[in-house]
Structures are given as structure tokens and as C-alpha cells.
Amino acid sequence: MIIKRKLKLYLLRLFRLRSSTHKIALGISIGFLPNWVPSFGLGPFLSVLLAKLFRANASAALIGGVSGTFMWPFLFYLNYRVGAWALREKSEVSDLEDVPYQHLDTPNDVGNLNSLGVQFVTGMVINGLVFAILFYILFFVVFKKYRLPLLAIVRKM
């Protein structure tokens, strides 16, 4: 019950934002970007900072940033997979459990960790750019066409 009320409150706030459709869509898409990066708990702060830097809506950026925080294991796994695909290398990560906890016992282990790092960063850049563009287009269309009908639906919840 409490979760439903909180969700309704945040959705009402999102759909009632008094900002242009462009700024809201930009805020959400930029706000989600830090979720692709290991930010050690600073993701929401980075989301708002990036929104201010790009003159996007900071509230929308915070919502975009917080909405992806629980998905970080999947997003990091996707970074490895996309990075390996882009570099045409065999991925060292084949399952979510393989996302790294590694002992660095030998110089060969350090080389493997370096390969994982390159795959991760490459995937992170590609995923960040692709999903930022997709989220911008998606939320721009949603807010442009469906803002008022969605607000009415949320009010009835």
C-alpha cells in the first residue's frame, strides 16, 4: 500500500512538471546515464549534476537516475556483452555470476582483468549513447502525446 502511494506521488510529480517536453525527456535520458557507470552510490547526484550541465530538468533527471539503480547488475553485464561484441572478442563473462570478483595472483590474471576493463568501458560508452538516444525519443513522444491521458490514469490509481 505504501509503495503504491509513493509510486503514485512520484508519477504525479513527473507528469505535472512545468517544463518543456524537450527538457523533461532530456532530463530522464541524461539522468539514466550514471546507471551504466560504477558510481558507488553517487548516481543520483551525478544525474542532477549532468542535468544542470545540459540544462535539462533536474527533477526528471533524478527520477531517471533513481529508476535504474536497482538494475545495475544487469546493466553491467550488458556492458561486458556489448563491449565484447563491439571489439569482436570472446567475452570473459557468460553469466551474471561471472561479473568480476577476481583474484590477481599472476601477471596473466592482470591481463585478463585488463581485457575485461576494455570490454566493460567500450560497452558502457555504446550502451550509454544508444540508450540515451532511445530514452530521449521514447519519453519525448510519451510526454508530447500522452502526458494528459497518463496523468488522468495516475490520478485514478
Query: In this predicted structure, what is the pLDDT of residue 45?
Result: 93
Long-range contacts formed by 18-22: CB under 8 A, 24+ apart: 19/57, 19/60, 21/140, 21/143, 21/144, 21/147, 22/140
What is the rounded distance in angstroms from the CA atom of residue 119 to the CA atom of residue 84?
A: 5
Averages of pLDDT over runs of 10 residues in the chain (157 residues) are 80 84 95 90 91 94 89 90 86 57 48 68 94 96 90 84
Query: In this predicted structure, what is the pLDDT of residue 157?
Result: 81
Nearest-CA neighbor of 90 among 78, 102, 80, 75?
A: 80
Per-position DSSP letters for 66-86, written without gaps between them: HHTGGGHHHHHHHHHHHHHHH
Query: In this predicted structure, what is the pLDDT of residue 11?
Result: 80
pTM (whole model) above 0.85: no
Query: In this predicted structure, what is the pLDDT of residue 115?
Result: 60
Residue keyed to cell 542535468: 51
